[in-house]
């Protein structure tokens, strides 16, 4: 059953689909997918081509736009858009601390979560495409992890694609998670250096906060333990266009004077809890490193192991000298399953996923080398989340792919510069520029 409603300038329709949990077992268990169809009000009755949007993540539902925000307005000039909540996210069948115990214990939960990577998402898309388009191929716009899914789509079911548009999401085709993080930490350090160059007063502010956390380790609302490592992970903000400024404003009012002396303010603690909690997207933490698993090597908490190779990120050591305390970025660590109450019940499940040695390849180099689908990709120069070198290597491996390498945007360029970014990618895919 579908339900339609309106926002300014658009008509939205809720769509629900039933797909197999395991596409290799079509008669087995099923899960539900939710998607929101969007069309311009003045084109609601027109026969339009479809554009499927694959959100970044993993573990996030499709963005809830209001009206024609970001890139959506440009897309609605010529497409009917489907905003898909990838399996386990948003309004699709959820996978979190409340629902996963229905599977059984940690081992059963970990087995279940192996079906939540890009390969299963692509097969979901192909399963619902005939119901949406009548069988016609569609254009896919993949942001970040959505771009990873798009490359997997090109590898396994290119016949379903009219064109592929990728923003900040060209994955390394063969790299292990260790390779990904060895490339990531130097990028993160550059982003932190750029932030401190812009806001030099934040060097001392961060040191004071880190010193306080090492002494007190406060417990935030809901039971979140604010360790110094958790505080450092706020560096994830630095990968976005406004992130450095948001981080600065957060830091400038961290302390308040109380009868007991200086303490972290309630306002600071509340905002930090909002930024760090995985309650709204636990799949991000659970399968984040699994998206890089493609062979018999376990991911084995790669980001944590590789971080030890970069001692400059050790806050305790930094505080013994006069150097800056470095933030970290987009990485998942085992201690998160202790600090965050939304993740604590899933600690054993996460460890089992980190130990798995049966990951299957997500990308097919031979098929990508023979690609015939028009593909265009925006590659953001020194993107904090996706290594530019890895992205360029992959671009060269996909036949006919056209790149737009730019330092005008950060990783969130499709949001910050949406209409222009999408317009550029469409022109590249159509060989108009």
Residue 3 confidence (pLDDT) above 90: no
Q: Is position 381 annotated as part of the catalytic site?
A: no
Report whether pLDDT(432) > 80. yes
pTM: 0.97
Strand partners, 163: 139
- Whether residue 138 contacts residue 162, with contact meaning beta carbons closer than 8 Å, is answered with yes
Indicate which residue of 120, 144, 155, 302 is catalytic.
144
What is the separation, in whole angstroms, between the first and last Cα of the chain?
42
Go through 397-414 and write b for each residue having 16 or more CB atoms within 10 A of its CB, e for each that does not: bbeebbbbeeeebbbbbb
What digits encode the pLDDT tens for the residues 241-295? Answer: 999 999 999 999 999 999 999 999 999 999 999 999 999 999 999 999 999 999 8
Q: Let me know if 265 is a catalytic residue.
A: no
What are the domain boundaries of the chain? 3-174+363-429, 177-355
pLDDT tens per residue across span 214-246: 999 999 988 999 999 999 999 999 999 999 999
Strand 3-7 and strand 161-167: the pairing is unpaired
Position 256 scores a pLDDT of 96
Query: Quick one: pLDDT band at residue 1, thresholds 50, 70, 90?
Result: low
Q: Regarding beta strands 10-20 and 3-7, do their DSSP bridges make them parallel or antiparallel, or are they unpaired? A: antiparallel
Q: Is 92 a catalytic residue?
A: no
Which architecture, in CATH terms, is 3-174+363-429? 3-Layer(aba) Sandwich (3.40)
Are 273 and 222 a contacting pair, CB within 8 Å? yes
- Coil, helix or strand at residue 402: strand
List, for residues 193-210, the tens digit of each pLDDT value. 999 999 999 999 999 999
Closest Cα partner for 254 from 279, 224, 278, 226? 226
Is there a contact between 378 and 423 (Cβ–Cβ < 8 Å)? Answer: no
Mean pLDDT of the region 76-81 = 98
d(CA 83, CA 170): 20
Whether the Cβ atoms of residue 171 and residue 118 lie closer than 8 Å to each other? no
Residue 80, H or E segment: strand 80-85
Question: What integer pLDDT is reported at residue 192 of this predicted model?
Answer: 98
Ordered strands of the 161-167 beta sheet: 3-7, 10-20, 30-40, 80-85, 50-54, 138-143, 161-167, 375-380, 402-406
DSSP-based three-state secondary structure for 248: helix
Catalytic residue selected from 27, 45, 322, 358: 358
Integer Rg of the chain from CA? 22
Q: What span, in angstroms and rounded, lies between the C-alpha atoms of 427 and 433?
A: 6
The pLDDT tens digits of the residues spanning 346-355 come to 999 999 999 9
Query: Measuring CA to CA, which residue among 123, 163, 128, 171 is closest to residue 146?
Result: 171
Q: Report residue 418's pLDDT band, with 50, 70 and 90 as the boundaries.
A: confident
Share the mean pLDDT of the chain.
Answer: 96
Query: Residue 396: what pLDDT?
Result: 98
pLDDT above 90: residue 2: no
């Amino acid at each position: 059953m579908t339900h339609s409603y309106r926002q300014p300038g658009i008509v939205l329709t809720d769509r629900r689909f039933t797909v197999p949990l395991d596409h290799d077992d079509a008669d087995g268990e099923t899960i539900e997918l939710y998607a929101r169809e969007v069309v311009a009000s003045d084109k609601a009755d027109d026969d339009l081509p479809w554009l499927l949007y694959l959100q970044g993540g993993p573990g996030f539902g499709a963005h809830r736009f209001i009206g024609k925000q970001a890139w959506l307005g440009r897309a609605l000039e010529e497409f009917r858009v489907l905003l898909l909540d990838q399996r386990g996210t948003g309004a699709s069948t959820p996978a979190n601390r409340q629902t996963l115990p229905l599977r059984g214990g940690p081992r059963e939960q970990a087995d279940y979560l192996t079906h939540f990577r890009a390969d299963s998402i692509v097969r979901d898309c192909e399963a619902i495409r005939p119901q949406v388009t009548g069988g016609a191929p569609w254009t896919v716009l993949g942001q970040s992890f959505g771009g990873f899914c798009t490359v997997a789509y090109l590898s396994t079911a290119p016949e379903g694609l009219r064109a592929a548009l990728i923003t900040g999401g060209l994955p390394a085709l063969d790299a292990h998670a260790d390779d990904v993080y060895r490339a990531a930490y130097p990028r993160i350090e550059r982003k932190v250096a750029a932030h401190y160059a812009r806001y030099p007063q934040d060097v001392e502010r961060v040191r004071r906060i880190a010193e306080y956390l090492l002494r007190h380790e406060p417990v935030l609302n809901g039971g979140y333990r604010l360790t110094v490592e958790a505080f450092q992970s706020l560096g994830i903000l630095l990968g976005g266009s406004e992130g450095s400024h948001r981080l600065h404003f957060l830091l400038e009012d961290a302390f308040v004077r109380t009868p007991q002396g200086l303490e972290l303010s309630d306002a600071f603690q509340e905002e930090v809890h909002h930024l760090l909690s995985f309650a709204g997207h636990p799949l991000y933490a659970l399968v984040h490193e699994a998206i890089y698993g493609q062979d018999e090597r376990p991911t084995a908490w790669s980001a944590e192991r590789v971080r030890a190779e970069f001692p400059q990120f050790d806050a305790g050591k930094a505080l013994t000298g006069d150097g800056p305390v470095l933030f970290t970025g987009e990485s998942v660590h085992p201690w998160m399953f202790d600090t965050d109450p939304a993740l604590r019940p899933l600690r054993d499940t996460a460890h089992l996923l980190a130990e798995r040695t049966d990951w299957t390849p997500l990308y097919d180099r031979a098929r990508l080398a023979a690609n015939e689908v028009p593909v265009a990709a925006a590659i953001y120069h020194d993107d904090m989340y996706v290594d530019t070198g890895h992205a360029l290597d992959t671009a060269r491996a996909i036949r006919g792919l056209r790149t737009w390498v730019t330092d005008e945007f950060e990783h969130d360029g499709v949001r910050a510069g949406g209409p222009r970014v999408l317009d550029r990618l469409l022109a590249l895919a159509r060989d108009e520029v």
